[in-house]
Structure 1
Amino acid sequence: MSKTQYKTDYYQWIQETINQLRERNFNQVDWNNLIEELESMGKSERRAVLSLLTRLLEHLLKLSYWEAEKEYSANHWAAEIVNFRAQIQQRLEDSPSLKPELEAMYAKAYPVAIKSVSKLFSLPKDAHISLEQALDEDWFVVDEAGDVD
């Protein structure tokens, strides 16, 4: 297989690489590009979890602290929170080795989420949502009346 095929017809390159591996035709495999793709796949999974965690934190912060929009948007934010949590959980089930990296991802995602929502409204100085709260599918902000916001 030509290494240029990787750049000219990616899908065909993938199919031929799969066939070569299945047939144990290792001498024909474009190893450099295959290794590059595998490394990229791993980075992509990590980036996807980081992005989902950031979006989750943004929505939790909105639900927790954006009083002016809560009446109109709380149900939407809550639905998004459920969705983001489910997507993160699915990715962690598919790639459990990412679980030990969650603290480091949270440390990157939380300041981004804070900065993002701070463009929409003022957060109180004591605003905080922990990683455990963010990932706990049963944790939602509850108001004084006991209603889920």
Structure 2
Amino acid sequence: MVKAKEELKQAYNKDFYKWLQETRETIKSGKLENLDTEGILEVIEDMSRTLERKLESFIMRLMVHIYKWENFPEKRSKSWRFSIISSQKEIKSLLEKNPSLKGKVEDLIQEAWDKATDWIVAETNLEYEDLPEKCPYTFDYIISFFPDKEDLAKWPYNT
């Protein structure tokens, strides 16, 4: 049953899943005048921000492990190597599926670096003052960085 516009608006705040289902049915029925356009706009904006945060998160993880790879060679691990390669794949996939996100990359680099420094400080003997404030990496550098398996530290579990 197609709901009236006001009913849909109320459902948005009370039961988001129900609102999605009813909005779908309203669109299918062709009764577009009943759509909660404000709610739809909010969902679209949230989805855009979610994609940006996802990209930023992968960039952050990638930078953390590249930084540690470059600055702590004696501790290089398979998990760091895996994180670098898998993050690059995730970023490439996300940008292939959403090419317009490429325009956000430069804006996200510094934000990702600011968050990456928290992670680096938490996992190393470094302090914030030891790390560059400005991101030391370009997007081209991090997306093409390749950690050779021959460069893994010679820990017992890496052999």
The TM-score normalised by the length of structure 1 is: 0.81
Q: Percent identity?
A: 22
Q: Structure 1 stretches of 5 or more lacking a match? A: none
Amino acid at match of 2:107: A
Preserved contact between residue 58 and residue 116 of structure 1 (Cα < 8 Å): yes
Question: Structure 1 counterpart of 2:115, which letter?
Answer: V
Q: 2:91 aligns with which of 58, 71, 88?
A: 88
Quote how far apart the aligned CAs of 1:98 are: 0.8
- Other structure's SS at 1:5 match: helix
Matched, 1:133 2:137: no
Q: Is the 8 A contact 1:140 1:148 kept in 2?
A: no
Q: Where does structure 1 differ by over 4 angstroms across 4 or more consecutive aligned residues?
A: none
1:121 aligns with 2:125: yes
Match of 1:78 among 73, 76, 81: 81
Q: Aligned-pair distance for 1:76?
A: 0.5
**Unmatched 5+ residue regions in structure 2?**
153-159
How far apart are residue 101 of structure 1 and its match? 1.5
Give per-residue Cα distances to partners, 1:2-43, cap 9 Å, x unaligned.
122112222121121122123221121111111111111111
TM-score calculated relative to the size of structure 2: 0.76
Q: Distance in 2 between matches of 1:68 and 1:93?
A: 35
